[in-house]
Amino acid sequence: MRYLEKFVNYLNESVEDVTDLTKEELNDLLIPITDLGVEYSFTSPKVITDGEFSGHRSLSIQFKNSFKTIVSSGVTEEIVDDRFWIFLDELIALKNRLESDRVSININFRHYIVITFIQRAKVEGDLLTMQKLYNDMTEKTNIGKSDFCYGLTKKLYADELKIVVNCSSFTENKWNHLFRGIDFSNFNVNKEITPTIGSSRINTTVITITL
């Protein structure tokens, strides 16, 4: 492994999330791979809260490429770039070197390759409880189609073990309808309405959820 050595060592040895790195730090780890005509990006790590890998973080890395191609017989686009084979060797080495419970791959060779892996480090205790609630709420907001849902934002503050939700036009009925099926009985749900400012008649409500 020549191009991803420093990056894999970081993933295996560091207790921090890769997305906490600055752009400069990431570049220091991954700039070598750009020598192959490959760009990279990350998804925010997600904590799995159900199933076999509950408590583990899942992280995806997307590699986009600019490998040389030709159109064979006027129909099929083929990669004719020696850098592609070097890149495949790097990906195989990456998979074999990652200290992960599972590594998966999504491939569109011409445009991108996405590597997803589940980190062995585990989230437990109160943080997992808060993460589970946050994931359940996210599942609801991802499919919600009401104006109330579209005007809602939320964030999990892991260090403080709290979820903060900002929403407009709050009513108990709208809240209960959006998050029906979620049990908040083990949490403190504090609602604070911010007075209307200016000509707008829409109040902003801040909901803070803690254990």
- State the Cα–Cα distance between residues 182 and 79, nearest whole angstrom: 50
Task: Give, for 97, the enclosing helix (H) or strand (E).
Answer: helix 82-97
Q: What is the pLDDT of residue 161?
A: 94
- State the Cα–Cα distance between residues 104 and 115, nearest whole angstrom: 6
Q: What is the pLDDT of residue 202?
A: 62
Say whether 145 sits in a helix, a strand or coil.
Answer: coil
φ and ψ at 174, to 5 degrees? -65, -45
The pTM of this model reads 0.70
Residue 16 DSSP label: S
Using one digit for the tens of pLDDT, what is the confidence trace for 77-101? 888 899 999 989 888 888 888 778 7
Say whether 113 sits in a helix, a strand or coil.
Answer: strand
- State the Cα–Cα distance between residues 47 and 54, nearest whole angstrom: 8
Q: What is the pLDDT of residue 134?
A: 95
